[in-house]
Structure 1
Amino acid sequence: MSVAFEEVRLRLPHIELSAHLYGPEEGQPVIALHGWLDNSMSFSRLAPHLQGVRIVALDQAGHGHSGHRPPGADYSIWDYTHDVLQVAEQFGWKRFTLLGHSMGAIVSTLLAGALPERVERLALIDGLIPFTGEPETAPQKLGEALEARLALPRKRKPIYRRVEDAVAARMKGVGAVTREAAELLAQRGLMPVPGGYTWRTDPRLMLPSAMRLTQAHAWAFVDRLKCPVSLVLAEQGMLVRQPEFMRQVESRPMTLHRLAGGHHLHLDDEQGAQAVADCFNPFLRGA
């Protein structure tokens, strides 16, 4: 299933982002946030199934057609929350819903926990809190991050002779996807270069995090949420196999849906997109 969308570029005070707009202008305001190394095409199957909403599906900074952070900056997870807030300001949305997948779901949780008065609802797909680290691991993690930064200028992006080769590589990447899903992401994620094609993503996105929140930090954001939360978990995804995560989630006041499919179940096929929409449509209407 496909639907017409409008392509826009958003000139924020600190960066220029690209986005797809779906749905009627008078629809409920929704900002959609894709996962790590994906782009706004992540919502190209799901958006047509969502009713009564005005969706701004962002290419997050460093992804798709959006700008990259300036030299010397990095991609700390909390910096994305500032981007989202600036997008809402540009649209004049004082309150809005966040639709997030994976990293986008994490960004959504952090923003809604930090500024609960701004977020109407959270519709999350196979993501909730960031990867965590305990205090004793912090020095080692910072050292690894610093060494990776020093080594980055010597690394080169892979170049694929054909689009089909890039699609095949994406199918086997982090959060493996179907061929159709990989083709959709490649439509927006690839660019031509001498010798073939490479991904538009900023290489700094591959750098390890310099610092991570502790478990206590991460769950504190969840506990500060004031809005309704609907969390879709993929049975073959990344989270249901983590017993401690599931124990923590099940002890909190949110609606959980466990659906068949992998980490990108909303993009892999039409059946998965419809199943996710069936969970979210009543939720977005407040039913």
Structure 2
Amino acid sequence: MADTNNIAALSFELDSLTLSAITCGNKNQQPVLCLHGYLDNAASFLPLMQEIVQQKTQKSDLLSDKYVIALDWPGHGHSDHRSVGAHYHFFDYVSDLVALFALNNWPAIDIVAHSMGAMVASAFAAAFPEKVKSLTLIDSFGFICAPAEQTTKQLRQGILSRVKSVKPTRTFSEDIAVKARLHVSDLKVDHAKLIVQRSLIEVKDQSGNISAVGEASVLYRWRSDPRLRTVSLYRLSQEQGQQLFSDIKCPLQLIYGDKGMDMVATGLAHFSSCVSHLTTNKLTGGHHVHMEQTEELVHLLSNFFSEIQTSV
């Protein structure tokens, strides 16, 4: 594993909240923005960054002209939670990106996005094409859609889930947290640990001391906002999703795992005809294939970015 000393922390002060990130590369170079999936965090891109750092050490770095930034979405990782009374509407994440780009005065840049992050990035690229140079989607294609006749049911379920949402008080060890994450994903143990460690916060007792079980194990609770687990109040119709996808004008690359999410095949069936500039790459791996196949991912990204630069 590469030396993580070349991977740094970063934060962005937006008007209403602070977003955290991890970075590697030369901050004076063009950024590549990496966007994680639902209930993940920026650490899902740590293996990619470690691969980039390792290749640079070996003088074979293929992304030397980039500054890679992996963002924690609001409510995830080390980023702030949304304010009291707010919720996590899908399109609010698009608004977060607009604010982030305005803060940094970024030109059109490359975006690499996984799962939920890929859906947000797709909507962002459609609505703000002048801000996206290229878009790489990882094990996600299209949007989660529902028939119009399910609108009322979706609304009811969403509102009721908010009523049931409570702040978690249960504490647990890191090992228990990792096992819980493994139970609901296809993550490998080492990769689950990376994401979980950034998702936990130590619990202190009334004296301000770190709580512990026995003499060695520290107790934690989830750092992520419990409101993230509420049900969305709405879903796009397939027609709305296709209309959005048809407005993605930048070069588009899909990288997915052969054991990844079924939604990729469904998305290709429903949305691929909406774009005429799509490159697809299937790798051996699951939903978090970007954590499993880092060397191949670096090559695919480098080739994709090079082809774009050549065509300009």
CA distance, structure 2, for counterparts of residue 240 and residue 276 of structure 1: 21
CA distance, structure 1, for counterparts of residue 41 and residue 30 of structure 2: 22
The answer to whether residue 89 in structure 2 is matched with residue 76 in structure 1 is: yes
Letter in 2 for 1:199: W
3-state SS, counterpart of residue 165 of structure 2? helix
Structure 1 window deviating more from structure 2 (135-144 vs 86-95): it is: 86-95
Letter in 2 for 1:171: L
Bigger Rg over Cα: 2
Q: Which digits, 9 at most, give the CA deviation of each residue in 1:92-138, with x for residues without a partner?
A: 20211111000111111000001111110001101133311121101
Q: Which digits, 9 at most, give the CA deviation of each residue in 1:40-89, with x for residues without a partner?
A: 11110112436021122111000011000111111111111111122222
Preserved contact between residue 123 and residue 231 of structure 1 (Cα < 8 Å): yes
The answer to whether residue 258 in structure 2 is matched with residue 245 in structure 1 is: no
Equivalent in the alignment of 1:262: 286
Equivalent in the alignment of 1:273: 294
CA distance, structure 2, for counterparts of residue 76 and residue 118 of structure 1: 22
Letter in 2 for 1:263: H
CA distance, structure 1, for counterparts of residue 11 and residue 246 of structure 2: 34
The answer to whether residue 249 in structure 2 is matched with residue 229 in structure 1 is: no
Equivalent in the alignment of 2:57: none
CA distance, structure 2, for counterparts of residue 192 and residue 72 of structure 1: 26
Letter in 2 for 1:246: L
The answer to whether residue 203 in structure 2 is matched with residue 193 in structure 1 is: yes
Equivalent in the alignment of 1:283: 304
Letter in 2 for 1:159: T
CA distance, structure 2, for counterparts of residue 88 and residue 280 of structure 1: 22
Letter in 2 for 1:176: D
CA positional deviation for 1:240 = 6.3
Root-mean-square deviation over aligned CA pairs: 1.8
CA distance, structure 2, for counterparts of residue 72 and residue 282 of structure 1: 45
Preserved contact between residue 18 and residue 79 of structure 2 (Cα < 8 Å): yes
Q: Which digits, 9 at most, give the CA deviation of each residue in 1:218-253, with x for residues without a partner?
A: 1211110110011101111113674x4232354332
CA distance, structure 2, for counterparts of residue 202 and residue 240 of structure 1: 26
3-state SS, counterpart of residue 38 of structure 2? coil
CA positional deviation for 1:276 = 1.9
Preserved contact between residue 181 and residue 192 of structure 2 (Cα < 8 Å): yes
Equivalent in the alignment of 2:216: none
Equivalent in the alignment of 1:163: 174
Q: 1:92 aligns with which of 90, 105, 110?
A: 105
Preserved contact between residue 95 and residue 120 of structure 1 (Cα < 8 Å): yes
Equivalent in the alignment of 2:215: none
3-state SS, counterpart of residue 97 of structure 1? strand
Preserved contact between residue 145 and residue 237 of structure 2 (Cα < 8 Å): yes
Preserved contact between residue 239 and residue 246 of structure 1 (Cα < 8 Å): no
Preserved contact between residue 127 and residue 239 of structure 1 (Cα < 8 Å): no
CA distance, structure 1, for counterparts of residue 252 and residue 170 of structure 2: 39
CA positional deviation for 1:176 = 2.5
Preserved contact between residue 141 and residue 264 of structure 2 (Cα < 8 Å): no
CA distance, structure 1, for counterparts of residue 11 and residue 168 of structure 2: 28
3-state SS, counterpart of residue 44 of structure 1? helix
CA distance, structure 2, for counterparts of residue 17 and residue 193 of structure 1: 22
Unmatched 5+ residue regions in structure 1? Answer: none
CA distance, structure 2, for counterparts of residue 221 and residue 279 of structure 1: 26
The answer to whether residue 221 in structure 2 is matched with residue 208 in structure 1 is: no
Preserved contact between residue 234 and residue 240 of structure 1 (Cα < 8 Å): no
3-state SS, counterpart of residue 236 of structure 1? coil
Letter in 1 for 2:305: L
CA distance, structure 1, for counterparts of residue 102 and residue 79 of structure 2: 18
Preserved contact between residue 233 and residue 239 of structure 1 (Cα < 8 Å): no
* Seq. identity, %: 32
